[in-house]
Amino acid sequence: MLYDHILIRYGELSLKNKNRKKFIYQLHENVRTKLINYPELKIKNSRDRMTILLNGQDPEPIIEACQTIYGVQSLSLAIKVDNDTEQIKHAALQALKEATDARTFKITTKRADKDFPIGSQEFNHVIGSHLLTNTEDYTVDVHHPDVELHIDIRKQGTYITSTRIKGAGGLPVGSAGKTLLLLSGGLDSPVAGYLMMGRGVKLEAVHFHSPPYTSEAAKQKVLDLADRLTFFGNEIKVHIVPFTALQQKIHREIPYGYSMTVMRRMMLKISEKIAAKENILSLTTGESLGQVASQTMESMHAINEVTNYPLLRPLVSMDKEAIIRISQQIDTYDISTRPYEDCCTVFVPNAPKTKPKLDKVKYFEGLMDVEGDITDIMNDIETITFPLKQEKDTFADLF
Ligand code: ATP
Ligand code: MG
């Protein structure tokens, strides 16, 4: 194997001047945890990038794993040699030959080590002519080359790279706190969680479960979704809230058109309590404006009023097609489309109010004594923790 390193570029991270150290440390941690099954790797970071010494490991699965880590802007395979012209010539020639489909190339030298005796421009020519003399059917194309060889001359050695592989971008998970994701079994909320992770946010999840109206299979779906989401960031704790008794009470005591609004408010109220207990400062939902009755401006206003916590809605302006596309990319689609009902669909009235009046909501809700129910619920929450997934597995295909 020719290549002995993988280079990881940070992108947006390197813009975060003050917090850069913290971000880089977090990314290093995330890469190390993701690659824990490869103890032979050596991971080092500097101000502008990270290098992984392969120590003979096959780079392919490692690149695949790193591509899904938020904060990784792009990756390249690299060869490291001494700052010695002959060694660089040899390695550049090998790298060019490795790019089998390429017919045109360009050399770009960056000379961070000013002790290296040849300037960047001149070195481009030195290496370029070496490649032209030692190959037959390649030509130089500085505008649209098939392959661009980067020669990066640093104090500690020279790295030669060719192709750039796109990473997930965003910020490393854990660099921006934690949010409590309201995770239903639907398509939207897992995508919302995934997008929040891309802003550096860790997830914890809450699911409202109403047995026997909702089945074990519906709960399992949510657990599988949470398990799946760990692949992109962190271990995820899922709090399963027993919601049946309170839902029945709402169903009995709240006028039909308002039951959905009150039920949603209860969900937020309980979620806020869980968040407070877990030191989490925000809630996240998969709501998208106008999608269903609870997601009109009036409903959001009436529902949101119950909490002071920031309620994050990363999908608010997205249409369903775009959401579905992401769910397919992150492999949650097949889990989300398993046909089990969740608690909202079971209890939701045929014609919930799309424009609930806040004063009426509060009036009806005030007639119902829920504090005791909420205390009981808080005592009966089941919490399951899913560890971070190192490898993409195929459980979704089993169903
Ligand atoms: P999803 O596809 O995520 O279920 P949806 O379009 O079906 O969303 P709703 O059922 O109205 O929309 O739910 C809106 C949001 O409320 C969900 O995205 C989720 O964040 C939250 N939610 C709904 N049901 C539950 C539940 N049983 N447990 C936890 N959160 C829920
Ligand atoms: Mg739903």
**What does each of the 399 residues of the chain score in pLDDT, given as a tens digit?**
589 999 999 877 666 677 888 899 999 999 999 999 999 999 998 888 999 999 999 999 999 999 999 999 999 999 999 999 999 999 999 999 888 788 999 999 999 999 999 999 999 999 999 999 999 889 999 999 999 999 999 999 999 998 889 999 999 999 999 999 999 999 999 999 999 999 999 999 999 999 998 889 999 999 999 999 999 988 999 999 999 999 999 999 999 889 999 999 999 999 999 999 999 999 999 999 877 767 889 999 999 999 999 999 999 999 999 999 999 999 999 999 998 766 556 566 667 778 888 999 999 999 998 999 999 999 999 999 999 887 766 444 433
Q: What is the DSSP string of 189-235?
A: HHHHHHHHHTBT-EEEEEEEE-TTTS-HHHHHHHHHHHHHHGGGSS-
Strand order in the sheet with 178-182: 311-312, 283-284, 178-182, 202-209, 236-242, 382-386
As a whole number of angstroms, the distance between CA 209 and CA 13 comes to: 39
- Provide the token pair at 14: 């390197």
Q: What Cα–Cα distance (Å) separates residue 389 from each residue in 35, 54, 235?
A: 10, 21, 8
Query: 86-111, pLDDT tens digit by residue?
Result: 999 999 999 998 887 889 999 999 99
Number of other residues whose CB lies within 10 A of the CB of residue 8: 24
Specify the pTM.
Answer: 0.89
Atom 25 (ligand 1) nearest CA: 184
233 CA → ligand 2 middle, Å: 23
Give the Å distance between the CA of 185 and the centre of ligand 2.
Answer: 6
In angstroms, rounded to a whole number, what is the distance separating the alpha carbons of residues 276 and 94? 57
Residue nearest to atom 8 of ligand 1 (CA): 188
Give the ligand with the smallest distance to the CA of 260. Answer: 1
Task: Measure 337 CA to ligand 2 centroid, in angstroms.
Answer: 11
> What's the pLDDT at 398?
38
To test the ligand 1 pocket, which listed residue (182, 184, 236, 321) has its Cβ within 8 A of the most ligand atoms?
Answer: 184
Ligand 1 pocket residues where CB is under 6 Å: 182-184, 186-189, 206-208, 285-287, 291-292, 294, 342-344
Phi, psi of 240 (to 5 degrees): -95, 115
Burial class of residue 98 (count of CB atoms within 10 Å of its CB; 0-12, 13-18, 19+): middle
Bin 149: left if φ > 0, else alpha if -120 < ψ < 50, else beta. beta
In our burial notation (b when 16+ CB lie closer than 10 A, e otherwise), range 45-59 reads beeebbbbbbeebeb
CB atoms within 10 A of CB 178: 20
Q: Which residues are documented as binding site for ATP?
A: 182-183, 207-208, 264, 286, 295
- Whose atoms come closest to the Cα of 218: which ligand? 1
- Outline which parts of the chain fall under CATH 3.30.2130.30: 5-166
- What amino acid is encoded at 284 in this protein? T
CATH 3.40.50.620 residue ranges for the chain: 178-386
Task: Return the CATH architecture of domain 5-166.
Answer: 2-Layer Sandwich (3.30)
What is the model's pLDDT at position 106?
95
The dotted CATH code for 178-386 is 3.40.50.620
